[in-house]
Amino acid sequence: MYRYDEFDHAFVKARVAEFGDQVGRRLSGELTEDQFKPLRLMNGVYLQLHAYMLRIAIPYGTLSSRQMRMLAHIARTYDKGYGHFTTRQNLQFHWPALKDIPQILEDLATVEMHAIQTSGNCIRNVTADHFAGAAADEVADPRPYAEILRQWSSLHPEFSYLPRKFKIAVTGAERDRAAVQVHDIGLHLRKDASGRLGFTVYVGGGLGRTPMIGKKIRDFLPEEDLLSYTTAILRVYNLHGRRDNKYKARIKILVHETGTEELAAQVEKEFEALKESELKLPEADIQAIDAYFAPPALPARPEGDAALKAATAADGGFADWVRRNLNTHKNPDYASVTISLKGIGEVPGDASADQMDAVADLAERYGFDEIRVSHEQNLILPHVARADLRAVFDRLVEIGLATSNAGLVTDIIACPGLDYCALANARSIPVAQQISTRFASQARQEEIGDLKIKISGCINACGHHHVGHIGILGVEKKGAELYQVTLGGSGDENTSIGEIVGRGFGPDEIVDAVDTIVETYLAHRQDKDEPFLAAYRRLGSAPFKEALYGREAKAA
């Protein structure tokens, strides 16, 4: 993985010292809250309901064991013994004291981590496919490009005061696991007819109060033009993006109001001027970054097949896990393992310090020292020999992280919601916990098959509810929580925004409503091979409305 060079070390060290000084001046009263707030936000520090929150960047979701152990150390030393992995592949601590944050950032810097650009109107953490560098269906590893974008965008003077925040995602496989079409810029890495690497470029995707699917403005952008083209997009946005209304300030609104064709023309015009500038990526530079992401040398482990057969035959629990939580690796002796942070009835995305340490140990012993955070709030060991899967599973059982539910109805995304977040209108996590408990049966979950439930506690949509097969949005109505349901959303290569099914449900009704939706799907699907999303796209909302609202819906 990427290692800091001297410049990176000096840069992060200087930033830690600067923020330490700013915190000191705030605590002494030299800075007012109005002066300090934008400074703390530039360093990932929010004020939430119970305490401050520190959001730590995990570039493209990649972590080493040493870094994971540091997160565990911080959780134990400065927080309440746990952390929350987010839908942006980051980690949030929900209880740090402001006075301790400079020391936390110093500790983080020792393992090449920081919290820069995890908030504010700048280019945020660049996200990528969590199986990058390992997946069998990958054209190329998207992370070198994500790293190039990270270096280019870090404290970029021209793009530090954008109209609004800006999110870029990169995927390297035909199957999009990074939800690129709901990002400000989505990059889909592919090869052209001659075998050259480049990107399909989407712009203006996003969720929030105005969900939009990104518009394709380039079929194929050669890799050497990555920064010049991205700069061209950002320049057009920085110049024309609305600054008069926070809710209309994202690039998706600019694209919508300008029209895709006109916007693409403006970008192309800027790009023409930049194309042959110093932003053009030299082949040697791409290769230098590529080298950091060279896959580990994976020794042949052909004994895996026999070992797996024996182990799965002997133990049903292990067989479930093998069936659900593995992704096909480029090397047939290996697999990518999803470590579910969605234990039945647990808080989605939370991990205790002990669990973090145990995952770090597993990565070191069996996983070539690599860990990933997925935007679905799980952890990944990208390279595990199939022969070692049993040992990994056994240890995961011991630490309570062996739930066999990747991609199933209990693998729910949920934002922190009103249990923590100052923006939330309703709680998300308790709804996720109750749905998880309702669908606890492994047999029933597998009978239902692939089904993504995503829950947000406010319209800002951190829980990605718009692209949930079943999306749940918590709102406040007459002082009480109310949950609005959308159906048919999807955040993959066939992205769609879910449609509101009807009136919302109270906290005591929402789990039954989800159950009704699932039962309606089971009753109407053509066969077991027709997943929920395909069935919904074929059937439309009518049978679900009728099941949920009965005659009332028919009359409407």
Partner 1 sequence: MKLLTANRLIDGEVVWLAADGHWAEDITEAEIARDEEAIERLERTGREAAARNEVVDVNLIDVEFVDGAIRPIRLRERIRAAGPSIHPDLGKQARRGVLAPV
Binding site for partner 1 (CB under 8 A): 26-27, 29, 32-33, 47-52, 80, 95-99, 347, 418-420, 424, 427, 429-430, 433, 476, 479-481
Q: What is the smallest separation between the CB atom of 425 and partner 1, expressed in angstroms?
A: 8
Q: What minimum distance in Å lies between the beta carbon of 26 and partner 1?
A: 7
- CB of residue 45 vs partner 1: minimum separation in angstroms? 10
Q: Strand, helix or coil at 353? A: helix
Q: Which is nearer to partner 1, 74 or 322 (CB)?
A: 74
Q: Which is nearer to partner 1, 147 or 419 (CB)?
A: 419
Burial class (CB in 10 A: 0-12, 13-18, 19+), 106: middle
Cβ proximity to partner 1: between 408 and 458 the closer is 458
Q: Which is nearer to partner 1, 179 or 353 (CB)?
A: 353
- Nearest distance in Å: CB 27, partner 1: 6
Q: At what angle do helices 143-153 and 283-292 cross, to 10 degrees?
A: 110
Q: Identify which of residues 228 and 410 has a Cβ nearer to partner 1 in the complex.
A: 410
The answer to whether 156 touches 350, Cβ cutoff 8 Å, is no
CB–CB of 43/73 below 8 Å?
no
In contact, 62 and 1? CB cutoff 8 Å: yes
DSSP annotation of 114 reads -
- Using the minimum distance from each CB to partner 1, give the nearer residue, 154 or 436: 436
* Residue 109 CB, nearest approach to partner 1 (Å): 22
| Rounded-to-integer distance, Cα 513 and Cα 507, Å | 10
Minimum distance from CB of 436 to partner 1 (Å)? 12
| Least distance from partner 1 to the Cβ atom of residue 556, Å | 30
Distance CA 514, CA 256 (A): 33
Half-sphere exposure of 44 (CA within 13 A, CB side): 27
Q: Give the residue with the Cβ less far from partner 1, 26 or 525.
A: 26
Give CA separation, 211 vs 134, 496, 503, in Å. 31, 10, 19
> CA torsion, points 61, 3, 55, 230, in degrees to nearest 10?
-70
Q: Identify which of residues 29 and 195 has a Cβ nearer to partner 1 in the complex.
A: 29
Question: CB of residue 271 vs partner 1: minimum separation in angstroms?
Answer: 44
- Encoded amino acid at 335, one letter: A
Least distance in angstroms from the C-beta of 424 to partner 1? 8
Nearer to partner 1, 337 or 458 (CB): 458
Q: 500-509: long-range contacts at Cβ-Cβ below 8 A with a sequence spacing of 24 or more?
A: 501/541, 501/544, 501/545, 501/548, 502/545, 502/548, 502/549, 502/553, 503/549, 504/475, 504/477, 506/480, 506/481, 506/482, 507/427, 507/430, 507/431, 507/480, 507/481, 507/483, 509/483
